[in-house]
Amino acid sequence: YVIPGQRVVEGHQNYIMAYNMITGIRVAVSRCSWLPSPVKEEDFSNVTKLIFDMEGNSLTPGTKYEFKFKDYAPEVFRRLRTRFGIDQADYLLSLTEKVSLNELGSPGKSGSFFYYSRDYKFIIKTIHHSEHRQLRKVLKQYYEYVEKNPNTFISQFYGLHRLKMYTRKGIIKVHFIVMNNLFPPHRAMNLTYDLKGSTHGRRTDIEKAKAAGKTSIIAKDLNFLELKDKISLGPIKKKPIIEQIAKDVKLLQQLNIMDYSLLIGVHDLRKSQEEDPDNLMANFDPPPIHPHSHPPLSPPNELETEIPEPTQGEQNQDQDPSSNPPQNTTPTPTSKHPHPHPHAQHQPKQQVQLQQTQQTTTSTTTTNPCFIEPDGGIRATDANNQDQPLVYYMGIIDSLTNYSTFKRCETLLRCLKDKRETISAIPAYDYGERFYKFMDKIIVSKTQEELNRTKY
Ligand code: ATP
Ligand code: CA
Ligand code: CA
């Protein structure tokens, strides 16, 4: 499948795929129970199959294109969404209004496609069949882990699906996941790091990328080291964060997973002040979050399409603007109010009245360490735990690669040439150890001088 970087509009070669993905999600998610119930053993292996065609039937609406859609372990993902504080109605609305093709430039080696939901909260990533198998295999352990560790940094998986389409070239099967976007819509990241703790080939030519006019530059381990950068967290914040990373790494080691990264977006409050003289960030307080008042970072390319109404589930979604909750006020790290989940996007949502589910939808919000802001950001602090004008958005991404035979071969081949510690394809246990050690080393508070030196 060719990966294009253009708009996904009618006529685009991925238009039908994107259209079918969101149609499938829309119908499948509407069919999930709205009342969160305890997950049963059989829910992990359960697969719902839906057949879409022009005529439609009692389960699916008539659609423009014929395709088959599989929803894996729908009740497990439904429960995971609840655990991560994602409201069922919001999820449906965000994903199925319009989908946009991402602007990450040329995709990674894996050849995955990334799509943002219209509101920039969710990411759809197409995955390799082996990653799909991996997630199914470890779903129960992942689920149990999340139940105990709702503040995990590991990607939040909200859905696992498969699309089967008939094209001129034959039958195409596309596996994909829905996950959290670590970055909020209201803030630009001044620099993003994708860190693995390895050095082999881990450099982005930042100057070249800038010269090419790239807006979202993903720097890597060597860039981080060369810039003499640090993740500035004083002892009070570092402790719980590094402990959570240690636990997350331990799980990934047990699951035989490697090749993941810590993705860190840095937002420099000084810079946003410079760029926006009207902005009221005196004392570097984070700005209030108004989800709809700022455009997404890179204006998404709209998939302009009408999505057919499903036959059941959400006909009752009448938007009632008068029921919008009051806009959130400036979050402060010391706020005593329980925050929603840290690593998901939780700007105040448009409330959707669901007559059908009004009494039954309960939102299990997880209690959130008070230093994590409602949008998932972590304010930098110095050695005395005083706030600094940087905010970090971070999480462990790309965590579905099993240390497979392929990787084993790669390790053997590369070991002939390079020192073992510097390469990334090493067994899951070693990978995790190296990853953790690196993160432990780079999370150190910055001095005032260092802070002045590194402006992002
Ligand atoms: P490869 O295997 O070559 O590393 P991939 O196709 O598996 O590539 P990822 O590593 O998952 O891709 O992600 C590539 C980039 O997409 C990341 O560096 C990051 O910029 C962005 N990205 C991925 N997941 C997220 C997320 N959850 N939130 C925000 N950005 C993300
Ligand atoms: Ca990756
Ligand atoms: Ca990958």
Do 240 and 92 belong together in one domain?
no
**Sign of the alpha-carbon dihedral angle for 273, 277, 279, 282:** positive
The pTM for the full model equals 0.80
Mutate to test the pocket of ligand 1, among 214, 263, 399 (most ligand atoms within 8 A of CB): 263
CATH number at 132 reads: 3.30.800.10
d(CA 379, CA 373): 8
Relative to the CA of 181, which ligand 1 atom is closest?
28
pLDDT band at 119 (very low <50, low <70, confident <90, very high): confident
pLDDT of residue 419: 63
- Determine the distance separating the centroid of ligand 2 and the alpha carbon of 361, expressed in angstroms: 36
Most confident of 268-282, 287-301, 331-345, 382-396: 382-396
127 alpha carbon – ligand 1 mean position (Å): 11
Q: Is 166 helix (H, G, I), strand (E, B) or coil?
A: strand
Domain end (from 150, 181, 212): 181
Q: What is the pLDDT of residues 364-389, one digit of tens each?
A: 444 566 688 889 999 999 999 999 99
State yes or no: pLDDT of 280 exceeds 50.
no
Count of other CB atoms within 10 angstroms of residue 217: 20
Pick the atom of ligand 1 nearest to 109's CA: 3
pLDDT bin (cut points 50, 70, 90) of residue 404 is confident
Q: How many residues are there in the chain? A: 456
End-of-domain residue from the set 156, 181, 206: 181
Q: Are residues 95 and 161 in the same domain?
A: yes
- Within a domain: residue 41? yes
User: Counting ligands in written order, which one lies closest to the CA of residue 194?
Assistant: 1
- Asked, for residue 350, whether it belongs to a domain, the answer is no
Residue 424's pLDDT band, with cuts at 50, 70 and 90, is low
Return the ligand number nearest the Cα of 108.
Answer: 1
Q: Is the pLDDT of residue 290 over 60?
A: no
Range in 1-10, 63-72, 119-128, 228-237 the model is least confident about: 1-10
The pLDDT tens digits of the residues spanning 384-396 come to 999 999 999 999 9
pLDDT band at 269 (very low <50, low <70, confident <90, very high): very high
Q: What is the ipTM of this complex?
A: 0.99
Most confident of 154-168, 273-287, 310-324: 154-168
The reply to whether 176 and 193 lie within a common domain is no
Higher pLDDT, 188 or 255: 255
Q: Name the residue with the closest Cα to ligand 1, atom 20.
A: 218
Q: Whose CA is nearest to atom 12 of ligand 1?
A: 108
* Residues 145 and 104 both lie in one domain: yes
- 302: tokens are 């709209």
Ligand 1 atom having least distance to the Cα of 114? 16
Q: Is residue 320 part of a domain?
A: no
Q: Does the pLDDT value for residue 52 go beyond 90?
A: yes
- One domain, residues 145 and 221: no
CA distance 9 to 123: 18
3 state DSSP class of 67: strand
User: Which whole number is the average pLDDT over 37-65?
Assistant: 92
Cβ(253)–Cβ(428) below 8 Å: yes
296 part of a folded domain: yes
pLDDT class of 281 with cuts at 50, 70, 90 = very low
Residue 440 CA to residue 435 CA, distance in Å, equals 9
Identify the residue whose C-alpha is closest to ligand 1 atom 11: 398
Taking residues 72-85, what's their average pLDDT? 95
Cα(292)–Cα(321) distance, integer angstroms: 13
The mean predicted confidence, pLDDT, of the chain is 77
Instruction: Please report which helix (H) or strand (E) contains residue 25, including its range.
Output: helix 15-31
Q: Where are the beta strands (DSSP E) in 269-327?
A: 301-302, 317-319
User: Mean pLDDT lowest for which of 30-34, 119-123, 217-221?
Assistant: 30-34
- Do the Cβ atoms of 112 and 130 come closer than 8 Å? no
Q: Does any domain span residue 292?
A: yes
Strands 99-101 and 47-52: unpaired
74: CA distance to ligand 2 center in Å? 26
Distance CA 447, CA 329 (A): 30
Ligand nearest to the CA of 157: 1
Percent of the chain with pLDDT over 90: 49
Spatial neighbors of 90 by CB under 8 A, at least 6 apart, are: 349, 350, 352
Residues 141 and 273 placed together within one structural domain of the fold:
no
Nearest bound ligand to the CA of residue 111 = 1
One domain, residues 263 and 400? yes
What pLDDT score does 360 carry?
37
Identify the residue with better confidence: 258 or 11.
258
In this structure, the answer to whether residues 163 and 44 fall within a common structural domain is yes
Residue closest via CA to ligand 1's atom 24 equals: 397
Is residue 395, in this structure, part of any structural domain at all? yes
Q: Which atom of ligand 1 is nearest to the CA of 111?
A: 6
In this predicted structure, what is the pLDDT of residue 276?
Answer: 53
Ligand 1 pocket: which residues have CB below 6 Å? 104, 107-110, 112, 114, 123, 155, 179-183, 192, 194, 218, 263, 397-398
Which residue from 115, 264, 398 has its CB within 8 A of the most atoms of ligand 1, so it is best to mutate?
A: 398
For the domain that residue 274 is a member of, what is the CATH number?
A: 3.30.810.10
Which atom of ligand 1 sits closest to the CA of residue 194? Answer: 18
CB 451 within 8 A of CB 232: yes
Distance 260 CA to ligand 2 centre (A): 6
Residues 114 and 232 grouped into a single domain: no
Measured by CA distance, the residue closest to atom 2 of ligand 1 is: 110
Specify the pLDDT at position 413.
66
- Minimal-distance CA residue to ligand 1 atom 25: 181
Q: How far is the CA of 400 from the centre of ligand 2 (A)?
A: 10
The residue from 127, 162, 181 where one domain ends is: 181
Both 188 and 177 in one domain: the answer is no
Residues 159 and 203 in one domain: no
Per DSSP, the residues of 84-146 read TT--HHHHHHHHHS-EEE---SS--TT---EEEETTSSEEEEEE-HHHHHHHHHHHHHHHHHH
User: The domain containing residue 296 runs over which residues?
Assistant: 184-304+330-335+370-456
Total number of domains in the chain = 2
Q: How far is the CA of 175 from the centre of ligand 3 (A)?
A: 14
pLDDT tens-digit series, residues 321-379: 333 333 333 333 333 333 445 554 444 333 333 333 333 336 444 456 668 888 999 99
Whole-number pLDDT of residue 362 = 64
Residue 322: inside a domain: no
Counting from 1 in the atom list of ligand 1, the atom nearest the Cα of 398 is 11
Q: Tokens standing for 293?
A: 């008042």
Pair (156, 266) in one structural domain: no
Residues contacting 226, CB < 8 A, separation 6+: 203
Distance CA 296, CA 276 (A): 17
Stretch 277-302: mean pLDDT: 36
51 within domain boundaries: yes
In tens, the pLDDT along 140-191 reads 999 999 999 999 999 999 999 999 998 888 999 999 999 999 999 888 889 9
Q: Which amino acid is at 324?
A: N
